[in-house]
Structure 1
Amino acid sequence: MKKCIIIYSKTGNTRSVANRLNEVLSCDFFEVKATSDNPSIQNVELTEVPQVGDYDHLVFASPVHGFSLSHVMNTYLNQLPDLSEKTVDLFITHHFPFAWMGGNRTLKQMKKIIENKNGTVRYTTSVNWSSKKRESDISNMIHTYHS
């Protein structure tokens, strides 16, 4: 099974978690990039668009922006081709004290896009950057996604 991790990271928090996951998965690693990282820009122009065609297992990761999926990752996911026969894991990072303050919504948004493209979402994880449980949440996610 050929795997890859595809992320968007504005501050580096999502990237740091993805790097830790990749230490275990040892797979291809890509970043989605846009002309601007300004979270208020709605019409995002992507400058780096990773291709997923050769992969069976995908991990997508994004921060939460304004209680929702970042516009950059939203634009990227929506332009993906059909994801039939692909297994997908998702994780997001956020600073809100509770997952219901954007984390859960963001994961639901990502999952809906993937499922509308016929992909199968296996695991979802919300990493709260300000939580005392952050390290254990990341470790648990890495263990789960590696299985």
Structure 2
Amino acid sequence: MATPDIVLTRIDNRLVHGQVGVVWTSAVNANLLLVANDAAASDPLQQELMTATAESSGVGIRFWTLEKTITTIAKASPRQHIFLVIKTPEDALKLVQGGVPIKEINVGNMHFSEGKEQISKKVFVDQADKDAFNELIDAGVKVYIQDVPEEKQDVLSKF
């Protein structure tokens, strides 16, 4: 199997919204948004809202569980320029450990919740997030915070 053309992998706890669906999709010339998230894969309402955003950008969209992403992404057509959107660092780690060829991860939004500390304007992490980021970095994945394409990448080092 050929390696899938993953043009960007982004962690964003909102998954697909205007910024992802319009700004990032055009910046990386993606023609397919792949939402790898177990909950979204089985939630028709979430899918409907995200599909509307994708359609406004003229790109296709798929909603797969993490497991389906691991077992199926290698079958992607070379014509598919995939923008992989995931919700958490832990999900990213599962995909990498499952063999999905992710070389870089863009961290967009990880909202505040109890027990999380702020590491950038829009990124809050707890120990589980830090552990997952450390494992990703150890696996050779470049992890960086970048809200919009015009901003400079803030590359994460181990916590």
- TM-score range relative to shorter protein: 0.3 to 0.5
| TM-score of the superposed pair, with normalisation by structure 1 | 0.46
Q: Which structure has the higher relative contact order (CA within 8 Å, separation 6+)? A: 2
TM-score (norm 2): 0.43
Choose 1 or 2 for highest CA Rg. Answer: 2
